[in-house]
A and B are shown apart, each in its own frame.
Chain A
């Protein structure tokens, strides 16, 4: 089942053993957006019926924030993030390998910051509550260190596999030659 949720692009940079995680994150992206759509729908409906459920807004923002950070982690595995330029794609050899490793090391360091300081924030936020639902703020902000840990894992995966198999996608290169 999971294979249809895993994009084939950059296959050579992925460990098959982590495919279930990509599939799970993809499903969770869907769950978050459906969850938050249903919450907004229930919010509008209850308000129109004259009995607003105020705490629904907190569920809405919860699904929304979790969706952003889960999606951020998934995009890191699929290399789907926004890039300023794709100059790396036009490079070859050692120059490309060094730049690919360097850029992933930068992402790795940033994601470790998100883990360490996001975790500290989470512990702190467990003492703050959102009104009127009284949900601890930490339940929202823990999405940051979790996303950071996943991004870090995916960077390690890509660096190890990239050094072993090379960074350019062999499938894409073959397609380019064929066209």
Chain B
């Protein structure tokens, strides 16, 4: 049977079963098993591939970054960061909307997941915005859009998965995510300032209030320094940096800030034990899917289609990939999407001579956008549920925010030098630079 036809059957089974209510992990596996029955590949090797898909050291970082977010939220430490954000931007037009974005930027430096961010904001700032008369659909849309920043600013779980499966420097992806992360944040703040509800006007915080809020939030804000400092200095791998952050929270932060929460720690750990298994089970299934796709020469077929249109033009290849991933991100969760399409991404990066970190950060930004687009915009689904508004109403209010994401994605495509500037400066090896043998500094490839 023709390989293209088998790929079509495999993808149709996955999407068909998925939309009929079969959980993602099982709908992907069902699609792969159906495809395997049409080839010479044994079912045993498919099941084996599922295990090997999660047997990667870099993936161990994921539970730690989830744990950091869960512990910070469960122990109510995040409220101090919200107060700090309030003293910084609460006086601007749409004060609470600005607080949502600034808090998300802070929290993104601590947790790698959007879900913890949505939960923290919807429980704390959400009710306050309601009291101040903000339209609930706007609140849900803004919280969801701001929460996507967690996937861009380090540490990012999407970057860990991308780096682990694509053999790309995770440190490099972390640093390259800073520019698009800040751009999305700035875009949301500009939108809220000019086009969002005005909210209640508050006086600017005094220096005393600001310094008090900074002091209260100082201990949690050490976490990004621990994580990125450890990775940049080469002391820790991302996994170890995550562990050090968890150790800091368990043995230092919670005993000082919320001692009463210590008795709940075993439950927090068990919750995260379940929480991390859900995306990673999808990783296991998706890696079997990606493996089957590679066996069926899917990467060659898709990269053939793209190269027929774009040739070897890097910009055109990237733009077509962005279109592809905007569509994929509408229907499939980001983590399985990264793994399923990784062989195609690798083939196209080679074809267009695109830097893997540049390609990675553009794809991650596009998939982060997918978190707020229907029908499968998971953070928007969550925030609309928490805020208490219909999903479609939140979708309508999030439409203008799409412009912020499109601008950021296009910026990533067209300005690789800006995106790669931070990794090139702070972690030159991550973007292929090597030490100059005959002098100071590094010798780097052209981007």
Contact = CB atoms under 8 A, between A and B. Distances in A.
A69 B281 CA distance: 7
A113 B34 CA distance: 11
Nearest to B59: A64
A33 B27 CA distance: 26
A54 interface: no
Given A72-B278, A106-B30, A121-B51, 16 more contacts: A29-B277, A31-B273, A40-B243, A44-B236, A64-B54, A68-B276, A82-B278, A82-B279, A84-B19, A85-B375, A100-B21, A103-B22, A110-B26, A111-B26, A117-B43, A121-B47
A41 B24 contact: no
B18 A32 contact: no
Nearest to A81: B23
Nearest to B250: A37
Contacts of A109: 30
B90 interface: no
Interface in B8-41: 15, 17-27, 29-30, 33
Q: What size tier do the contact residues of chain B reach? A: 35 or more
B419 interface: no
A30 B277 contact: no
A118 B51 CA distance: 9
Contacts of A141: 48, 51
Most buried by B among A37, A57, A84: A84
Interface of A is mostly: helix
Given A40-B60, A121-B44, A75 B277 contact: yes
Nearest to B52: A141
6 contacts: A30-B270, A61-B55, A71-B281, A85-B18, A106-B26, A141-B51
Nearest to A116: B43
Interface of B is mostly: helix
Interface residues of A, number: 61
Contacts of A27: 270
Contacts of B276: 33, 67-68, 71
Interface string A21-59: 000001111111110110011011000000000000100
A140 B19 contact: no
Most buried by A among B244, B270, B284: B270
A70 B239 contact: no
A68 B274 CA distance: 8
A103 B33 CA distance: 16
B331 interface: yes
A103 B21 contact: yes
Nearest to B284: A68
Contacts of B375: 85
B333 interface: yes
A78 B273 CA distance: 14
Interface in B325-355: 331-333
A33 B60 contact: no
Nearest to B56: A61
B120 interface: no
A37 to B, nearest CB: 6
B60 A26 contact: no
B243 to A, nearest CB: 5
B26 to A, nearest CB: 5
B281 A75 contact: yes
Contacts of A107: 22-23, 26
Interface string B271-293: 01111111111101000000000
B280 A68 contact: yes
Most buried by B among A109, A110, A116: A110
Contact of A118 (B26, B47, B278, B280): B47
B50 interface: yes
A120 interface: yes
A131 to B, nearest CB: 14
